[in-house]
């Protein structure tokens, strides 16, 4: 029990340090056309055009996912992710289990991204089905949007 507590505390400290290092990095706004219904956090959103951005500079870990029609929107909590693939485009990464898609990662460029926590529904489905990773390319919105 004591070893588990120390492990959890160490993981928490490392997460805080990583978040502090990534906290100063800018998370851009992206737009993406998602061709299938999907779950983001605990909400199911319909296929369509979406704009994704951080809620505010002070709350970088909270991302706003908003449909271009204004009808669908949700907030999701995220953790910073980094990659060394500088050539990778802005994209969203989903895990597909059967016919259900779950948003897993938001990448504003090749090196800076955000990772979403698995929802209770995704954990339930993942316990019985294998996942397939699906990437949907995004683009930076034009000035004035």
| Residue 71 within a domain | yes
Note whether residue 36 is domain-resident.
yes
Strand partners, 69: none
Inside any domain, residue 54: yes
90 domain residue, yes or no: yes
pTM: 0.76
Cα(40)–Cα(119) distance, integer angstroms: 8
Does 143 have pLDDT greater than 90?
A: no
Quick: pLDDT tens for 85-126. 888 899 999 999 999 999 999 998 888 899 999 999 999 999
144 within some domain:
no
Domain that holds residue 91: 26-137
Structural domain count, the chain? 1
């Amino acid at each position: 029990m004591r070893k588990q507590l120390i492990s959890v505390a160490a993981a928490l400290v490392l997460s805080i340090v990583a978040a502090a290092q990534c906290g100063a990095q800018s998370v851009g706004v992206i737009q993406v056309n998602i061709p299938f219904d999907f779950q983001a956090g605990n909400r199911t959103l319909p296929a369509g055009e979406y704009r994704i951005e951080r809620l505010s500079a002070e709350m970088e870990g909270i991302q706003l996912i908003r449909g271009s029609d204004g009808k669908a929107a949700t907030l999701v909590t995220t953790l910073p992710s980094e990659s060394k693939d500088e050539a990778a485009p802005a994209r969203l990464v989903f895990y597909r289990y059967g016919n259900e898609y779950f948003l897993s990662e938001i990448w504003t460029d090749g090196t800076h991204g955000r990772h979403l926590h698995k929802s209770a529904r995704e954990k339930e489905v993942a316990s019985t089905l294998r996942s397939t990773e699906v990437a949907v390319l995004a683009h930076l919105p034009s000035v004035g949007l």
